[in-house]
Structure formats: structure tokens, C-alpha cells
Amino acid sequence: MSRRTRVLIWVLPLSFLAAFYIYPLASILGLSFGRGEGGLLAPISKVLGDAGLRGVLWFTFWQALLSTLLTLALGLPGAWLLARFEFRGKALLRALSGIPFVLPTLVVAAAFTALLGPRGWVNLGLMQALGLETAPIQFVHTLWAILVAHVFYNTTIVLRMVGDFWARLDARTEQAACTLGASAWQSFRRVTLPLLMPAIAAAALLVFIFDFTSFGVILVLGGPRFATLEVEIYTQTIGLFNLPTAAALALLQLASTLGLTLVYTRLARRISRPLTLQNAGRGARRLTSRRARWAAGAFLAGLALFFVLPLGGLAARSVSRLDAERRQRGSVETGLTLDYYRALGENERRDIFFAPPGQAIATSLGYAGATVGLALLIGLPAAWALAKREQDFLTRALDPILMLPLGTSAVTLGLGFLVALDHPPLDLRASPVLVPLAHTLVALPFVVRSLTPALRSIRPRLREAAAMLGATPRQVLRHVDAPLVGRAALVAATFAFTISLGEFGATALIARPEYPTIPLMIYRLIGQPGALNYGQALALSTILMGVTAVGMLAIERLRFAEVGEF
């Protein structure tokens, strides 16, 4: 590949990042440091010298590490079962695990409180069974709540990224190892795991960065005794208007992400190797032994329950009379109702910002579709360039930068968007384009990380062979790369789709108020007292779950129809 082509490939992703990431971020950081005295260094040394803030940094780090390990512990066995075995409801389980990704934290917190809160089903059951006066399980506002919520949100990343890669590893290599006398464990440890490492590392990095920048989970489920850097940035920015300190913290967060990503990229280049990927499903078999079947069944059932219980509870509450829950005296009927769903379509107060649910769904899906398109358009060339064996300096330098948007404080970047993109050359205020642009920024790291392991694994010889046989570069791309990458592209599309559907922080700052997305409407409703408001928030959350599940299953179908066979 000529140097010119290489530079050309980078033009699109780079100019996107320059315009919509680096420019707004630099603007807000510059503005923030400009407001303080002592320029750049004073706030940074102040932050590093403050024992309380150092504590925040330390907590941010270890809770993210612990959350990531727990997510891997649940996700890896799940990925293995999804990849290697045939069972009914596979697609459903995959879709189910992706639903939490789109749900607002307040709603997930409500779901967990209904299960594990002081008056939740589990505690009430135990109190009744054991004759206790007080709730035996303390869950909300503990470290456990934070960890469980992080696992709940992020397991899907491991299931998808590792599971998909695993499904396409040739099972015969393991079988060969076994034939040569290796035990199942040895063959996993020596053969499968090394081949799998690039995907595991990529998934772990994404999960870690997500947990490292966690905000809503810490605030709502962790409570006031826990704070991550992102929470601290929020209080410094909104509550105290200490912009220099907030900017210093944002830089610290960014530096941590950058450091971690650098370690990852070095590692990733060392551990990835070309291998023959095969059609997914070819390596899948049925479990034969009874014990294995039982163990796998129990694990999968547990995994499914982990998602079904909170999500199902949420859906159930959206059709129950909420007042009845507290046995209120009077005329309130108990039982089921569709009132909340009906109320969603009514605009009794004639609010100018009212949006019927159909419109909100259409708006959300429109943004999600645009995000998928944009993220693939920009992510594919970037991933392709990153996957090249012969890497030049440009590529090596740019690799970590692609990851940074995910590790950037959403509060800071959101303000940066508002500050930088409201005047020429980029005057995008109140433009509907701004929302998919912001969503693409978050989705891009996922898209790139989903694609790169697949692209790297293509044997160069395959391309060379095709070229030798007279294929033009375009034909190589079309007939060699595209089919091999198609599946990974669909995983990437799923991520972009769910990220966009669930995004709230940036959307709240830049969306047109007349066209709210579903999460915006949920937040609006849950911020007001009254059964109808809360019930409508639950109803909309249930609709959001449905839209997500249907969307993901549709993408899954696409996968089998178009790029399943080659």
C-alpha cells in the first residue's frame, strides 16, 4: 500500500476527530484553564496535591478494575457457551444481554431497588420466611450495588466481542491438541486462550474505560459516599463552577485512559496473529454428556435470570397499578392497567414539547440509524488502517487517539460541544446533525475495537493470493476482506445502535427540545411527582427495551442473511 493511500485512509477518521472531538475539547479546556490563575500547572498540581482528590482517583481505578474482572468472570464462560454450543434461545440471550446498555441509570436503579432494596421482593421474602423485623440484605448504596450494576451493563461487551471472535476460531485446532494428548484445560490454556487474547484484551479495555468513567451508576446506586473522577468533575463544574479544577481532573482522566490504551496497543500488536477464521456456527456442537449439559444449562439460566429479573420486573411494574403496591385505602383498584401506555399518547396539558411515543421512537431510531451509518463509515477505514501489519508512525500514533473519546469526561466534552460548535466555521447549534455526531464519537471506539481483531486475523497470504490470481485491490477488498469482516461489522453496528439509543448526557445538551429521544422523555417524566409520571417513565422504559431487542434481533437476522456464508 502506498504512502499516499495510507494517508488518504486516515483523512476521514482524522478530520472527524479533529472537528468533533479535539476542537471542542481543546476549546473548553483552554477556556477553563484561562479562567483560573496560574494557567495549566496550578490547577493540576492542586488536584494532585489534594489528598481527597487522590482518594477519588484511587477509588475510580480500583472499582473499575474490580468491575472489569467480575464482568470477565461472568462474560467469558457465557461467551464460550454462546460460541461453541448449539442451544435454543441463543439469539434471544444475546439480545437480552444488550438491553441494559440502553437503559437510563435511574431506571436500572429502580429495577434493582424493586428486587434488592429494603422493601424489595428479596428482602420482603426473606423477612417473611425468617420472621425478621428489618431487611437482611443491604444492597443499595454499597460497593456491591456499583459492581453488580457495572456487570449488568457491560457483560454484553464481553459476550459480543469475545463470543463472536471465539465462534469463528477453528475448533479443529483445539481438537488437534486434544488428539495429541492435551487435556481440555491444557488445550484451552495453550491453544484457545492465546488465539482469543486480542478479543479479550479489546473487550476488557472497553469495559474498564466504561467503568473508569462511570457516572450515573456511582451517583444513583453508589450514593453520596462514593465518587469517581467523573462525579467529581460534575460537581466541580455544575455545583461549584470551579472550571480550572474540573479541567485538571478531566485531563487526569484522559491521561489515565491514554496510558491504559498505550499499554493495550503494545499488547494487542504482540498477541494478535493471523489465523484462519471460519464461518460462525461450524464449530458449534451439542453438549453430549449429561453433566456438562446440566452445568451449562444452569449457568445459562443464571445468566438469563440476571438480566430477566430486573428487566422483567420493570416491565411488570409498567402494567401494574402503582398505588396498589402500597395498599392505599380508598377507591384505588388493584391489578393490571394499560393507563400509563395510554397516557403517553395524550397531551392534556398541551405542552409545546410534547412528543407522542411514536415520534420519540422514530426520533431515537433515526438518530441510531444515522449513528450506525456514520460510525461504520468512519470506523471501517480507521480499523482497516490499524490492522495493517506494516505500521508506520502515523498509524501507531493514531491508534490510541481513537480510544480517547470514550475516556473523556462527558460533562467536559458536552460543554465543549456547546462552546465550540456554535459559531463559524462549525455552527451546528440546534442542528439535528449534532446528536448523531456526538453518538458516533462514543460508538467509534467500539466499532474500531470490534473490527480490528477480525481484520488483523486475515492472513496476508490470502490477499496476496487473490492479487496473484489477478484480483484488483477493490476485488480483494470485496471478496476477501468484506466477507471476513462482515460479521464483525454487524457486531460493530449493534454497538453503535445500542449506544445511540441509550445515550443521555450529550443528547440532553444538544437535542432539539421539540424532538426528544426516548431516554430524554424518561428523565423528564421521572423528574416529576405522581403515579402517572412514574408509570409513564416505566412504560417508556419498557418500550425502549422492546425497540432495542427488536433492533438487535433484526441486525442478527441480517447477519445470517447477508454475510453468513462464504
Q: Which is nearer to another protein, 406 or 526 (CB)?
A: 526
Q: From CA 400, how far away is CA 264, in angstroms rounded?
A: 9
> According to the binding rule CB under 8 A, does residue 242 interact with another protein?
yes
Structure-block grid coordinates of residue 209:
474505560
3 state DSSP class of 242: coil
Contact between residue 136 and residue 192 where contact means Cβ atoms under 8 Å apart: no
Strand partners, 427: 422
Q: From CA 125, how far away is CA 132, in angstroms rounded?
A: 10
Instruction: Please provide the distance, in angstroms rounded to a whole number, between the alpha carbons at the two ends of the chain.
Output: 26
> According to the binding rule CB under 8 A, does residue 133 interact with another protein?
no
> According to the binding rule CB under 8 A, does residue 415 interact with another protein?
yes
> According to the binding rule CB under 8 A, does residue 142 interact with another protein?
no
List 419, 467, 471, 477, residue binding another protein (CB under 8 A)? 419
List 339, 365, 391, 486, residue binding another protein (CB under 8 A)? 339
Contact between residue 149 and residue 221 where contact means Cβ atoms under 8 Å apart: yes
> According to the binding rule CB under 8 A, does residue 215 interact with another protein?
no
Interface segment toward another protein; rule CB under 8 A; list 144-152, 281-289, 327-335, 557-565: 327-335
Q: How far is the CB of 62 from another protein (least distance, A)?
A: 20
Q: What is the DSSP string of 466-530?
A: HHHTT--HHHHIIIIIHHHHHHHHHHHHHHHHHHHHH--HHHHHHS-TTS--HHHHHHHHHTS-S
Q: Which is nearer to another protein, 438 or 491 (CB)?
A: 438
Q: Which is nearer to another protein, 280 or 415 (CB)?
A: 415
User: Residue 108 phi/psi, 5° resolution?
Assistant: -65, -40
Burial 242-278 (b: 16+ CB within 10 A, else e): bbbbbbbbbbbbbebbeebbeebbeebeeebeeeebb
Q: Which is nearer to another protein, 55 or 194 (CB)?
A: 55
Residue type, 81: L
> According to the binding rule CB under 8 A, does residue 145 interact with another protein?
no
> According to the binding rule CB under 8 A, does residue 434 interact with another protein?
no
List 223, 373, 381, 564, residue binding another protein (CB under 8 A)? 223
Strand partners, 336: 320
> According to the binding rule CB under 8 A, does residue 225 interact with another protein?
yes
Q: Which is nearer to another protein, 276 or 320 (CB)?
A: 320
List 241, 263, 346, 550, residue binding another protein (CB under 8 A)? 241
Report the candidate in 227, 223, 226 with the shortest Cα–Cα distance to residue 249: 227
Interface segment toward another protein; rule CB under 8 A; list 177-185, 328-336, 457-465, 556-564: 328-336
> According to the binding rule CB under 8 A, does residue 31 interact with another protein?
yes
Q: Which is nearer to another protein, 41 or 238 (CB)?
A: 238
Any idea of the CA torsion for 524, 526, 530, 535, to the nearest 10 degrees?
A: 110
Report the candidate in 358, 515, 494 with the shortest Cα–Cα distance to residue 435: 515
Q: Which of the residues 295 through 324 are near another protein (CB under 8 A)?
A: 321-323
> According to the binding rule CB under 8 A, does residue 26 interact with another protein?
no
> According to the binding rule CB under 8 A, does residue 189 interact with another protein?
no
List 140, 372, 386, 442, residue binding another protein (CB under 8 A)? 140
> According to the binding rule CB under 8 A, does residue 172 interact with another protein?
no
Report the candidate in 480, 507, 477, 484 with the shortest Cα–Cα distance to residue 563: 484
> According to the binding rule CB under 8 A, does residue 143 interact with another protein?
no
3 state DSSP class of 133: coil
Q: How far is the CB of 563 from another protein (least distance, A)?
A: 41
> According to the binding rule CB under 8 A, does residue 446 interact with another protein?
no
Residue type, 323: D
Q: From CA 115, how far away is CA 121, in angstroms rounded?
A: 5
List 4, 286, 350, 389, residue binding another protein (CB under 8 A)? 350
Q: How far is the CB of 216 from another protein (least distance, A)?
A: 10
> According to the binding rule CB under 8 A, does residue 517 interact with another protein?
no
Q: Which residue has the cell 435511574?
A: 106
List 57, 106, 250, 434, residue binding another protein (CB under 8 A)? 106
Q: Which of the residues 524 through 543 are near another protein (CB under 8 A)?
A: 524, 526-535
Handedness of CA 5, 6, 7, 8 (dihedral sign): positive
Report the candidate in 406, 557, 435 with the shortest Cα–Cα distance to residue 503: 435
3 state DSSP class of 426: strand
In terms of C-beta density within 10 A (0-12 exposed, 13-18 middle, 19 or more buried), how is residue 92 classed?
middle
> According to the binding rule CB under 8 A, does residue 429 interact with another protein?
yes
List 423, 461, 478, 479, residue binding another protein (CB under 8 A)? 423
Q: How far is the CB of 315 from another protein (least distance, A)?
A: 17
Q: Which residue has the cell 504512502?
A: 3
Q: Which is nearer to another protein, 339 or 556 (CB)?
A: 339
Q: Which is nearer to another protein, 424 or 470 (CB)?
A: 424
Interface segment toward another protein; rule CB under 8 A; list 9-17, 264-272, 276-284, 421-429: 421-429
Element housing 122 (H / E): helix 121-130
> According to the binding rule CB under 8 A, does residue 153 interact with another protein?
no
List 36, 77, 118, 357, residue binding another protein (CB under 8 A)? 118
Residue 99 DSSP code: G
Q: How far is the CB of 373 from another protein (least distance, A)?
A: 26
Residue type, 229: L
> According to the binding rule CB under 8 A, does residue 482 interact with another protein?
no
Contact between residue 380 and residue 386 where contact means Cβ atoms under 8 Å apart: no
* Binding stretches for another protein (CB under 8 A): 31, 106, 109-110, 113-114, 117-119, 135, 140-141, 219-220, 223-225, 231, 234-235, 237-242, 321-323, 325-326, 328-333, 337, 339, 349-353, 414-415, 418-419, 422-423, 429-430, 508-509, 511, 513-514, 520, 523-524, 526-535
